[in-house]
Amino acid sequence: MKDIILLKQGEVVLKGLNKRYFEQKLLTNVRKRLKPLGNFHVYCVQSTVYVEPEDDAADMDAAFEAMKHVFGVIALTRAAACEKNEDAIFEKAREYLREDMENAASFKVESRRSDKSFHMTSIQLSQYVGGLLAEAFPDTRVDVRHPELVVHLEVRDYAAYVHAAPVPGAGGMPVGSNGRAVTLLSGGIDSPVSSYMIARRGVKLVPLHFFSFPYTSEAAKEKVIELARLLVPACGPMCLEVAPFTHIQEEIRAKCPEEYFTLIMRRFMMRIAERVAERNSCKAIVTGENLGQVASQTMEAMAVTHCVTGLPVLQPLVGMDKEEIVRHARAIGTFETSILPYEDCCTVFTPRHPRTKPKLSEVEAAEAALDVAALVDESVNGIERIWIDLES
């Protein structure tokens, strides 16, 4: 019997009559993620997803690493399968965990008996295998309270499995199980984190970037493409939509009061995002806004910005401080790319004294000098689409 990977489901196990729907989404995502790594048999039994290699060409090391990033998996472990016989289970534990046992100062055995027809109870199996392991590794003492190593035994429907402690998975819900959303992806620290966090809640993302050439360079656009690539292992393949934004910003600068530049710019972003959402069957817009972080992210400013769309605006970072966001960015691997010194359209034509508590009537009056519908149409019609997956 070959090694396998066991994936423990998180929130999915709490679902009721629709649990099967979420499990199928998870299985689909796992299969897609494993496809470039070889042939695997993937199935679910008793809220555990089994990943079995079908031939020796399957890359188990790469598969295990890939499964750490799949949303919906709370923990995972690489396990060795054997016959459902206590002596076979001991032999497999001694062989498979030899290095772990030799390096640990203490150990204990924990057993789970999902197959209730197995003739030993969980406690009996733990005692039996634990006693034999203590004899086989006399330098490793038994410690049932604070062991350095826990030997896990599972007796399930088709086989018994031996493994050490599981490692944490990505958690959350399977991508695609909670619909689709447009996420505003800039080149900064916040938006990749907000995108990741919403994808972790089971949302399939359509990233939208606003590009103001020549005020923002091709290098700045490449930076955003790289950020999208870094999100793909967890969020799945995405089509990055790059909307031309130069004309809109130039019109705002030429015809609107300076103090409203950023607010009017963000209102255009929301309108364009809504159009992109309609075209991609998305039900929400995701932003990296954080309450009070900048002038355009006060409650009054966000209310003025969001009111131009009828879609929900999801703001996963709204209550975080910057240090928390940076920690998340480091954890998901986007921080170093985000801080590369390339300009972003949000820094173009920044007002010297922006309004922090704007009134909607004042912003609408300032915006009346623009042909809003024509500018939105021009940007939407000029969108460039870039497909990004693991191999791009």
Buried b (16+ CB within 10 A) or exposed e, 54-72: eeeebebeebbebbbbbbb
- Which residues are CB-contacts of 380 (< 8 A; sequence separation ≥ 6)? 243, 272, 275, 276
Q: Is 210 annotated as a binding residue?
A: yes
Q: Is 46 part of any known ligand binding site?
A: no
Which amino acid belongs to residue 357?
K
**In Å, how far from its chain's centre is CA 192?**
10
Half-sphere exposure of residue 130: CA atoms within 13 angstroms, side-chain side: 22
Secondary structure class of 56 (helix, strand, coil): coil
153 is in an annotated binding site: no
- 17 annotated ligand-binding residue: no
Q: What are residue 51's DSSP bridge partners?
A: 5, 42
Q: What DSSP element (H or E) covers 336? A: helix 335-338
Is 253 annotated to bind a ligand? Reply is no
Query: Strand 40-45 relative to strand 141-142: parallel, antiparallel, unpaired?
Result: unpaired
Positions of E strands within the chain: 3-9, 40-45, 48-53, 73-82, 106-113, 141-142, 149-155, 160-163, 167-168, 180-184, 204-211, 238-244, 285-286, 313-314, 384-388
- The response to whether 34 counts as a known ligand-binding position is no
Go through 184-201 and write b for each residue having 16 or more CB atoms within 10 A of its CB, e for each that does not: bbbbbbbbbbbbbbbbbb
Whether 247 has a binding-site annotation, put simply, is: no
Biggest CA–CA distance in the chain, Å, is 85
**HSE-up (13 A, CA, CB side) for residue 242:** 21
Q: Which residues are annotated as a binding site?
A: 184-185, 209-210, 266, 288, 297
Q: Which residues are annotated as a binding site for ATP?
A: 184-185, 209-210, 266, 288, 297
